[in-house]
Structure 1
Amino acid sequence: MKKLSRFDKLIFFLNSLLAIGLIVAYFLPYIPPKSYPLISVLTLGVPILILANLAFFLYWLIRMKRQMLLSLIIMIVGFGFASKFYQWPFKDHNPTGDYSIMNYNVRMFNRSKWTDEEEIPEKINALIDEKDPDILTVEEYYKNEYLEAKYPYKFIRYRSDNSSFGQAIFSKFPLLSKESIDFNVDNFTGENNNAIFSDVVIGKDTVRLYNIHFQSLKVTEDIQDVNNLKHKQESKKVVKNISSGFVRQQRQAERVEESFKDVKYPIIISGDFNNTAFSHTYSHVRNGQFQDAYVKKGGGFSSTYNLNYFPLRIDFHLLDTIFEIDSYERFKVPYSDHYPILTTFSIKK
């Protein structure tokens, strides 16, 4: 440190703080939000921590300073952790795998008029027609007669008997059972969120398929609030609201994970987790049992949520190890605040 200028000492101080932050982030998937809800908020900043440490490493490398070892060692230690954030874009993949599944949070097909773009339902339908997935899972679904006619088998769970809003599974394969895990337990209200599942007959095999929509953290709204905040008290309220969302997600993830215990078929999980791959929510559901399709066959950052150039992957395909993941794609189309993802897969012989 003696040979560093005052400016470089300041840079290294900031480097040290963000390096410590990344170390803490490595433990976030193992920290239940109910125990430390405020710490869980750091999950949303993990991409920034990774990019910042990479920038510091490059800064010191260019200057040929040994301080580059701090971020380098931390990134090497967490290499598997960072792989959930970025994948080398030149992987071998087979887009013509035996079967395909698409997930899409369609934001009610623009029923709420969140965008001025015209003919959103027709454009989404056209995209689905073009990609023609064998299985389609939809969050924030609003009644769509075209899709309901296109797929011979379907499971649509509306918010209530008088509602046309909910979640859906569309399939070219028969659905044996249709059940819902409603997130309203222990005086906890899940609002619009829940998980639905069905047993799908694919050839001679039966697969348990989940469509999961975990509690929204309302990130977009809260970030907008932060930009407009004038008082520290209001800032604390925003953080508290987000951390409360993490606690709700933990309860929901526990209910979903509990339902796995009696499943005698291989499982495919599709849906909008409303949280990143660095979270306790993701870790609890995946639990070392499932393959992340993006980690296996994805490329680049593969953000699935449109948040002003911030790479946020919150929509997932998790598949049991009996499946061979052939390809993974994300389609950056402006028809919702989410981007659809498509995975092709085969069943190992």
Structure 2
Amino acid sequence: MKKLSWFDKLIFFFNSVLAIGLIVAYFLPYIPPKSYPLISVLTLGVPILIIANLVFFLYWLLRMKRQMVLSLLIIIVGFGFASKFYRWPFTSEEPAGEYSIMNYNVRMFNKSNWTEEEDIPEKINDVIDEADPDILTIEEYYKNEYLEKKYPYKFIKYRSDKSSFGQAIFSKFPLLAKRSLDFSLDNFTGENNNAIFTDVIIKKDTIRLYNIHFQSLKVTEDIQEVDNFKNKQESKKVVKNISSGFVRQQNQSEKVQRSINASEYPVIVSGDFNNTAFSYTYNQVTNDRLQDAFVKKGSGFSSTYNLNYFPLRIDFHLLDTVFEINSYERIKVPYSDHYPILTTFSIKN
């Protein structure tokens, strides 16, 4: 440090702070949010921490300073961690899998008029038609007669008997048991989030398919309106809302984990987690058992949520090890605040 200028010393100070932050983030998937709800908020900042440490490493490398070792070691230690955030683009000649599944949070097909663009339901239907998935899972579903006619088998769970809003599973294959985990019955959430599952018969195989929509953090408007953060009270409110959401997600993910563990069939999880791959929520569901389709076959950042250029992947396809993941695609269309994801897979012998 003696040979560093005052400016470089300041740079290294910030480098050290962000390196420590990334180290803490490595442990977040194993720390229940109930124990340290405020620290859990750091989960959402992991992509920035990774990028920042990479920038610091390049800065010191270009200056041929040994301070580059700090960020380099942090990045190497967490290489597997970073692979959940970014996958190096590659060209694969591997054919698509025998079966396909799409997940799409459709934001009620614009029933709430969140965008002035016209014909959103028809445009979303066109996207689904072009991909033509064998299985389709939808969050924030609003009654869509076209899809209900297109797919011969379906499981639609509305939030109430008088509502047309909820979650849906559409399938070209027969569905057996249809069940809901009903988060709201345990006071884990409001009425808009839930997990549903069904048993799908694919030829001679039976698989258990989950459509999950974990607790929303309800901070989108606050994050996009940067001016809100100029007010300390607003900033504290946002952090408190996120912390509360993480605690609810912990309860929900633990309930899902128990259901998955009790399944006698291989499992596929599809849905909107409202959290990243660096979270306790994600770790509970995957539980070292399920494969992340993006980690296996994705490329680039593959953000699934449109948040002002911030790379946020919160929608997932997680498959049991009896499945071979053949391809993964994020379809970038502006018809919702989420992008649909499409995975093809095969069943191993």
Which residue is 2:252 aligned to?
252
- Confirm or deny: 8 A CA contact 1:37 1:243 kept in the other structure: yes
Separation (CA, whole Å) in 2 of partners of 1:256 and 1:96: 29
Alpha-carbon deviation of 1:222?
2.8
Separation (CA, whole Å) in 1 of partners of 2:297 and 2:235: 39
Which residue is 1:223 aligned to?
223
Separation (CA, whole Å) in 1 of partners of 2:261 and 2:341: 27
Separation (CA, whole Å) in 2 of partners of 1:302 and 1:189: 28
Which residue is 1:265 aligned to?
265
SS of structure 2 residue aligned to 1:184? helix
Structure 2 stretches of 5 or more lacking a match?
none
- Confirm or deny: 8 A CA contact 1:95 1:344 kept in the other structure: no
Structure 1 runs of 4+ with >6 Å offset: none
Which residue is 1:136 aligned to?
136
Alpha-carbon deviation of 1:94?
3.6
- Confirm or deny: 8 A CA contact 1:93 1:297 kept in the other structure: no
Which residue is 1:243 aligned to?
243
Separation (CA, whole Å) in 1 of partners of 2:159 and 2:143: 12
- Confirm or deny: 8 A CA contact 1:331 1:341 kept in the other structure: yes
Amino acid at match of 1:268: I
Separation (CA, whole Å) in 2 of partners of 1:12 and 1:229: 26
Which residue is 1:127 aligned to?
127
Which residue is 1:46 aligned to?
46
- Confirm or deny: 8 A CA contact 2:213 2:274 kept in the other structure: yes
Separation (CA, whole Å) in 1 of partners of 2:185 and 2:175: 27
Q: Deviations over 1:289-339 (max 9, x none)?
A: 000000000000000000000000000000000000000000110000000
SS of structure 1 residue aligned to 2:184? coil
Separation (CA, whole Å) in 1 of partners of 2:187 and 2:177: 28
- Confirm or deny: 8 A CA contact 2:228 2:234 kept in the other structure: no
214-223 or 61-70: bigger deviation: 214-223
Which residue is 2:88 aligned to?
88
SS of structure 2 residue aligned to 1:167? strand
TM-score, scaled to structure 2: 0.98
Q: Deviations over 1:27-63 (max 9, x none)?
A: 0000000111000000000000000000000001111
92-101 or 261-270: bigger deviation: 92-101
Amino acid at match of 1:35: S
Amino acid at match of 1:14: F
SS of structure 1 residue aligned to 2:303? coil
Are 1:70 and 2:60 an aligned pair?
no
SS of structure 2 residue aligned to 1:277? coil
**What is the aligned-residue RMSD (CA, Å)?**
1.2
Separation (CA, whole Å) in 1 of partners of 2:73 and 2:177: 49
Cα distance 1:187–1:197, how it changes in 2: closer, same or farther (>3 A)?
closer
Which residue is 1:146 aligned to?
146
Map residues 106-185 of structure 1 onto 2, 5 A cutoff. 106-185=106-185
SS of structure 2 residue aligned to 1:192? coil
Separation (CA, whole Å) in 2 of partners of 1:205 and 1:188: 33
- Confirm or deny: 8 A CA contact 1:91 1:299 kept in the other structure: no
Amino acid at match of 1:105: N
Cα distance 1:307–1:95, how it changes in 2: closer, same or farther (>3 A)?
farther
SS of structure 1 residue aligned to 2:329? strand
Cα distance 1:310–1:95, how it changes in 2: closer, same or farther (>3 A)?
farther
SS of structure 2 residue aligned to 1:18? helix
Amino acid at match of 1:165: F
Cα distance 1:135–1:188, how it changes in 2: closer, same or farther (>3 A)?
closer
Separation (CA, whole Å) in 1 of partners of 2:234 and 2:312: 25
TM-score, scaled to structure 1: 0.98
- Confirm or deny: 8 A CA contact 2:19 2:53 kept in the other structure: yes
Alpha-carbon deviation of 1:96?
2.4
SS of structure 2 residue aligned to 1:328? strand
Structure 1 stretches of 5 or more lacking a match?
none
- Confirm or deny: 8 A CA contact 2:250 2:280 kept in the other structure: yes
Separation (CA, whole Å) in 1 of partners of 2:187 and 2:346: 42
Which residue is 1:6 aligned to?
6
SS of structure 1 residue aligned to 2:89? coil
Which residue is 2:37 aligned to?
37
